[in-house]
Structure 1
């Protein structure tokens, strides 16, 4: 049975955030709000939890395109290669916000991702997600629970999310109704930015 936390985005309760972080540190899986759709996540450094998410999503872990949810731009340097000033300016303009930026992966990536040439970085404009990552001290993995074949409410209404995911995850965080539009995905790993998916984030950041 998943634990259910009601946390308010305007002012996330530190005690509730601590409980969620404790679940992550034990290798638990959580569903949490972002500035787009609700995400399924775990501690980036917990191999068992990562493998469990890969199983749920029916992908091989080393081939999975999970995003890294970071607290701010200061801790992305642990996961991406040195980026030039023009790329950094785009990131600074757009984040926190509803974007996933694909950047060249560094040699210090956690083991399961060592072979990946690129990583997807997210800094969502959602205080709940940001506080969890800040308290945890490192990124969490994120993959959307959005399913095109499903009734929309099952990915936007936290109570229905709990009903569906109760036996698969350790905690569901109710941060209010979620959005049904995913993030805009932009590949910044080459010389020119490439729009991979147009989502909620505006393209007026260039």
Structure 2
């Protein structure tokens, strides 16, 4: 019997346009029910747009990975957190030095890699061939983005619900490609045609205008007693506030 992917939470993708400054972020209120039911959608962050789903949603995780085309789970997703308490709930190794780094640089355009606790859900996903395998979680990338729309939805409406996140693809990376599309232009395309790209595979899309797509700056704190090791340069400053 051919494996069928999990069903969508809603019958039709909900598209919501809000102001970049978050003054009308209340429009996202209807998304609370979708996310509480394990839905998958697109939200803005301070480093671009990303696919999101609740941390405890196995079906949401599976759908997100399928949309991204990730079959072997070797590239773990990051976790959007509301505060340092949430980070501490799912990561260990946060000594005094690491806590100081996190507190002084978050919220912000950073991802910090920390050792993962076994409090993370045992997410089992299916690959395209139908085989089961675990998403390995020796470490976890954690973020607290400083985006007003995201902060309102996650902090105020969702009461700090942790969300798995993976960045939207940048289509046609070659500048000479006529089909070159940044995540922001993909959102505009979704508004015009919900059957375009990944648009009809998600439950909602929140468009908060143009966002950068350079990604977050990533530092590894997992094996260094609070001494950050640069993994990838992104929008965050390379010189962290210490």
Q: TM-score, normalised by structure 1?
A: 0.90
Q: CA shift at 1:29, angstroms?
A: 1.1
Task: Report the Cα distance in structure 2 between the residues aligned to 1:103 and 1:71, rounded to whole angstroms.
Answer: 16
Aligned CA-pair RMSD: 2.1
Cα distance in structure 1, aligned partners of 2:103 and 2:63: 33
What residue in structure 2 maps to residue 11 of structure 1?
22
Matched, 1:22 2:33: yes
Unaligned runs of 5+ in 1: none
- 2:184 alignment partner in structure 1: 156
Which structure is larger by alpha-carbon Rg, 1 or 2? Answer: 2
Matched length: 206
Task: Give the structure with the larger helix fraction.
Answer: 1
Alpha-carbon spacing, 1:33–1:69, altered in 2? closer, same or farther (3 Å): same
Quick one: structure 1 residues 149 and 114, their matched pair in 2 at CA, closer, same or farther if it must change by over 3 Å? closer
- Does 2:212 align with 1:184? no
Contact 2:116 2:139 in 1 (8 A): yes
Range with greater deviation from structure 2 (150-159 or 28-37)? 150-159
Compared CA separation, residues 50 and 73, structure 1 to 2 (3 A): same
1:195 to 230, 236, 239: 230
CA distance in 2, matches of 1:24, 1:193: 33
Which among 122, 133, 153 is matched to residue 154 of structure 2? 133
Task: Tell me: CA distance 1:98–1:161, structure 2 relative to 1, closer, same or farther (3 Å).
Answer: farther
- Cα pair 1:45 1:110 within 8 Å, conserved: yes
Question: In the alignment, is the contact (CA less than 8 A) between 1:17 and 1:132 conserved in 2?
Answer: yes
Give 1:36 shift: 0.7
Q: Specify the alignment match of 2:87 in structure 1.
A: 76
